[in-house]
């Protein structure tokens, strides 16, 4: 088990991580989400031991994770950390980068391991290409294979799919997270992509200004966001007064509703005016006005601008 206990940290006297606590069990995939600059990357670096904590402690299997004050080479041997800069050697091949830390004592086993890892990240055909000639997305996939080479017990990934196109990204995520589950590897992924949290993470940590707001199963956080900040990390969200939905007479109570949780209804309590329509593939995202308030909802076709429609809560769209 990985335990983060009341940790605080600042690069200067100003703290950027504030009293964070959580535990992770073997084989769990955890997503860390939050706005840019909230402390996601710093949290991963602290867990890896790249910096010394100001307060608190981090334990893995009851062994303390220590920083550079205690280790000549920062980082823990049973962990691997993939930073956003990939850390590849440009003048050697993709295969050589993947096998950089593998032993040469058994060359056949080493080559088999490299082959397996290149297949996981779908880069087999580029095995003999030097890293400097690979695209950013290809380099990112090779970097992923490299950190998996020695089968770490804890894997820390900082925006690991940011340079990879959607065509490759979806298959890569499926392959990677299935492999991690099979091997029982703890994975913590800092990400801006809600798909990483909703589709592959067992639990999600929500960070704001260096403070842990929520830790819960990803589906629970999505359907029961504690605040608008959390809900907005998954896309557009509406904050609507309950009285406008005729659900209460208390004027100050509000509810957070995603666009797909609203539907057009002739007798709907929300009378909005269509302002813009955005094609999203299998639906349109409609921007509308409720007085001075912007309301987003989804519809299967585009709607005429300045058309007034009634909206009601789509109760089938709640988990």
Whether the per-residue pLDDT at 247 is higher than 70: the answer is: no
Residue 229 structure tokens: 């900040």
Do 179 and 108 share a structural domain? yes
Residues 6+ apart with CB under 8 A from 170: none
- Tell me which residue of 45, 25, 40, 29 sits closest to 176, measured CA to CA: 29
Residue 92 structure tokens: 């050697």
Do 158 and 74 share a structural domain? yes
Do 251 and 224 share a structural domain? no
pLDDT bin (cut points 50, 70, 90) of residue 253 is confident
Task: Please give the pLDDT value at position 3.
Answer: 96
- Tell me which residue of 250, 276, 270, 251 sits closest to 314, measured CA to CA: 270
Q: What CATH number should be reported for the domain holding residue 210? A: 3.40.50.300
Residue ending a domain, choose from 211, 231, 251: 231
Alpha-carbon gap, residue 283 to 301, rounded angstroms: 7
Do 263 and 225 share a structural domain? no
Do 313 and 247 share a structural domain? yes
Residue 7: which domain range?
A: 2-231
Whether the per-residue pLDDT at 196 is higher than 80: the answer is: yes
Domain total in the chain: 2
Q: How far is CA 223 from CA 135, 200, 230, 257, 271, in A?
A: 37, 16, 11, 9, 25
Whether the per-residue pLDDT at 77 is higher than 90: the answer is: no
Task: Please give the pLDDT value at position 242.
Answer: 84
What kind and span of H or E run contains 3?
A: strand 2-9
pLDDT bin (cut points 50, 70, 90) of residue 94 is very high
Do 214 and 252 share a structural domain? no
pLDDT bin (cut points 50, 70, 90) of residue 59 is very high
Q: pTM (2 decimals)?
A: 0.90
Whether the per-residue pLDDT at 254 is higher than 90: the answer is: no
- Do the Cβ atoms of 176 and 120 come closer than 8 Å? yes
Mean pLDDT of the chain: 91
Alpha-carbon gap, residue 25 to 294, rounded angstroms: 42
Do 89 and 31 share a structural domain? yes
Which residue has better confidence, 165 or 309? 309
Alpha-carbon gap, residue 223 to 316, rounded angstroms: 12
What is the b/e burial string over 274-308, where b = at least 16 CB atoms within 10 angstroms of the residue's CB? Answer: beebeeeeeebbbbbebeeeebbbbbeeebeeeee
Residue 236: burial class (beta carbons within 10 Å; 0-12, 13-18, 19+): middle
Alpha-carbon gap, residue 98 to 121, rounded angstroms: 11
Task: Please give the pLDDT value at position 248.
Answer: 59
Do 204 and 247 share a structural domain? no
Task: Please give the pLDDT value at position 193.
Answer: 87
pLDDT bin (cut points 50, 70, 90) of residue 317 is confident
pLDDT-wise least confident of 77-81, 249-253, 278-282: 249-253
Q: How many other CB atoms are found less than 10 A from the CB of residue 140?
A: 24
- Do the Cβ atoms of 255 and 242 come closer than 8 Å? yes
- Do the Cβ atoms of 218 and 53 come closer than 8 Å? no
Average pLDDT rounded to a whole number, residues 196-224: 94
- Tell me which residue of 118, 113, 89 sits closest to 103, measured CA to CA: 113
- Tell me which residue of 282, 202, 243 sits closest to 22, measured CA to CA: 202
């Amino acid at each position: 088990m990985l335990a983060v206990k009341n940790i605080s940290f600042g690069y200067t006297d100003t703290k950027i991580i504030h009293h964070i606590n959580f535990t992770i069990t073997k084989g769990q995939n955890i997503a860390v989400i939050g706005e840019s600059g909230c402390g996601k990357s710093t949290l991963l670096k602290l867990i890896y031991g790249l910096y010394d904590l100001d307060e608190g402690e981090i334990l893995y299997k009851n062994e303390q994770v220590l920083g550079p004050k205690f280790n000549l080479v920062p980082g823990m041997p049973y962990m691997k950390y993939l930073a956003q800069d990939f850390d590849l050697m440009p003048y050697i091949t993709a295969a050589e980068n993947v096998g950089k830390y593998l032993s040469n004592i058994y060359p056949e086993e080493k080559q088999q391991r490299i082959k397996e890892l290149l297949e996981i990240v779908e880069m087999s055909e580029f095995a003999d290409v030097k890293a400097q000639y690979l695209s950013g997305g290809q380099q990112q996939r090779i970097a992923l294979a490299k950190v998996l080479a020695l089968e770490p017990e804890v894997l820390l990934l900082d925006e690991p799919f940011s340079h990879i196109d959607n065509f490759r990204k979806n298959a890569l995520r499926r392959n990677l997270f299935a492999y991690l589950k099979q091997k029982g590897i703890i994975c913590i992924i800092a990400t801006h992509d809600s798909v990483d949290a909703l589709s592959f993470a067992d639990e999600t940590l929500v960070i704001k200004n260096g403070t842990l707001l929520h830790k819960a199963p990803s589906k629970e956080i999505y359907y029961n966001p504690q605040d608008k900040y959390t809900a907005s990390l998954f896309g557009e969200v509406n904050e609507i007064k309950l009285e406008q939905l005729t659900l209460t007479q208390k004027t100050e109570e509000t509810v957070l509703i995603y666009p797909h949780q609203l539907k057009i209804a002739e007798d709907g309590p929300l009378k909005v005016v269509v302002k813009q329509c955005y094609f999203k593939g299998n639906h349109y995202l409609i921007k509308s006005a409720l007085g001075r308030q912007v309301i987003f909802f989804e519809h299967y076709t585009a709607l005429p601008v300045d058309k007034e429609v009634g909206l009601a809560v789509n109760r089938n769209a709640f988990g």
